[in-house]
Structure 1
Amino acid sequence: VAGAVAATLLLLGLAAILFFYGPIVRAAASVPGLKRDIARLEADNAQVHTLARALEDAEARYYQLREMMGADIIREPVGFAPTVPVALPIEARPPGAAPRFESGASIPKHWPLDEEGYVTRGQIGADTRDEAHPGIDVAVSIGSPVRAVGGGRVLDAGSDPEVYGLFVLLEHPEGYQSMYGHLSRVTVAVGDSVSAGQVIGLSGNSGRSSAPHLHLEIRREGRSLDPLTLVQEETR
């Protein structure tokens, strides 16, 4: 009897060993694969940290360039300086050539910038699904001279921090008005008479603006017009 019991116990022990041996062998066999997975994850993690540092460095250089180019001063516009002249380059006119700008009051018909700019947003009417945009936006560097699109009188000039920032509103004949927004400096005062082509301010990024540009609106009898139907960039 004792021998039979011993044999039974031995068989049970062998069965238990065989039962647990399989998982142990499989677990042992998977260890090299797990090590490879861990090594790969560690390498990926190191690469992520390297990319994050590179991104931080690039962002730091970006803001450094913005500061060097003056992009961080645009939220602090110079303001009103109607008594301080703006020095502009002198352009010689060939003999017999007609003047570039007419004298006296005139309707809007001249491009307001000397520096080359790009129209980044056109007029959008209020009857569309998009947000209304009553004028055009012309991307141009800060400090570019802004000229009157026609001769007239300064009807208003001020600061509208919610939308237009520093702005100038001119009144022209035949019910026309022109408005210039997001300036960094205003060089005229309310009531001043201005000629077509006269510098009325410098471009900027004041008011609700995400990048330096000039906002130009033209109205007639209170109705917003598309400025591009009246003024076009001039080639000289």
Structure 2
Amino acid sequence: MIRQIQKLLPKKSGKRVALTCLLLKKSFKFRGLKKLPIIFRFKFSKALLGSFLALYLLGYQPTLAIPPIKQNLARAEQFSQTQDIQTTKLEFPFALPHPGYLTTSYSSWHPGVDIAAGLGMPIKPIAPGKVIETSYGFWGLGHFVVIEHEQSFRSTYGHMGRIFVKAGDTVSAFSTLGEVGMTGRTSGPHTHLEITKNDKYVDPKTILPEIPNWSKFASGKNAPQGSAN
């Protein structure tokens, strides 16, 4: 087939076709595997390219990230203490990043709270500040944003679906950081929120407005009007 095409083309073009085919044959040799038929190689490459393009358009740009176990151990060593904050000393009020339910509380091995919400819900900063880090990854917190606030506070928002800010941006309480997602190690859409002060973890529930507890609503107790039991 290739030789027939070469005969129909000018001499220079025919040489290019032969050279291209030779390079394709060499580039698709796999260790321990037989060479795949050209049609399967083409379909595989096309499918792989399409998958990466779809992920990019959806805002899921994968990069290398620390696996969750190593990530938790590193954090445990770096931040070995928590800090109690007296809300009366705060110069500004904190707000919830979005409406939702508390599904996982703060603990020594879970230095934050999980707030379940609908996929794609806008995420707001808990207070005005400056974006100091944005990261995209498959492991651990997935896509996350870190905000630096006054009084040496920092807040981290994990498992985001899309990120709308970049490092260096100044954000207000009305800014949208991104959307609730399911990136990283998660089984459902939610925001993993961590708060630190002077590099020491703080239980977010001690300084945030009350977060409705999912277990109460799941059992049908104190369910708000219009909610599903």
1:111 maps to 2:91: no
Consecutive unaligned residues in structure 1, runs of 5 or more: 1-75, 82-105, 126-131
Aligned length: 129
Secondary structure at the counterpart of residue 170 of structure 1: strand
Using a 3 Å threshold, how does the CA distance of structure 1 residues 151 and 80 change in structure 2: closer, same or farther?
farther
Aligned-pair identity in percent equals: 36
Cα 1:176/1:188, change in 2 over 3 Å? same
Say if 1:107 and 1:133 are closer, same or farther in 2 by CA, change over 3 A: farther
Following the alignment from structure 2 to structure 1, what is the Cα–Cα distance between the partners of residues 60 and 205?
28
Q: How far is 1:197 from its partner?
A: 3.1
Matched, 1:181 2:158: yes
Structure exhibiting the larger radius of gyration computed from Cα positions: 1
Runs of 4+ with >3 A deviation: none
Change (3 A) 1:122 1:162: same
Corresponding residue for 1:156? 133
After TM superposition, list the pairs within 5 Å mapping 1:104-143 onto structure 2. 109-113=94-98, 115=99, 117-125=100-108, 132-143=109-120
TM-score (norm 1): 0.51
TM-score computed with the length of structure 2 as normaliser:
0.52
Counterpart code for 1:171? E
Cα shift readout 1:111-160 (whole Å, capped 9, x = no counterpart): 110x4x110001012xxxxxx00100011110001001011100000113
For 1:81-230, list aligned pairs within 5 A.
109-113=94-98, 115=99, 117-125=100-108, 132-230=109-207
Distance 1:140 1:170 in 2: 21
| CA pair 183-232 structure 1, distance change in 2 beyond 3 A | same
The answer on 1:79 being equivalent to 2:59 is: yes
The alpha carbon displacement at 1:191 in A equals: 0.3
User: Whole-Å Cα distance in 1 between the matches of residues 159 and 92 of structure 2?
Assistant: 23
**Cα RMSD over matched residues?**
2.5
Quote the residue 2:13 is aligned against. Answer: none
Q: Which runs of 5+ in 2 are unaligned?
A: 1-54, 62-90, 213-229
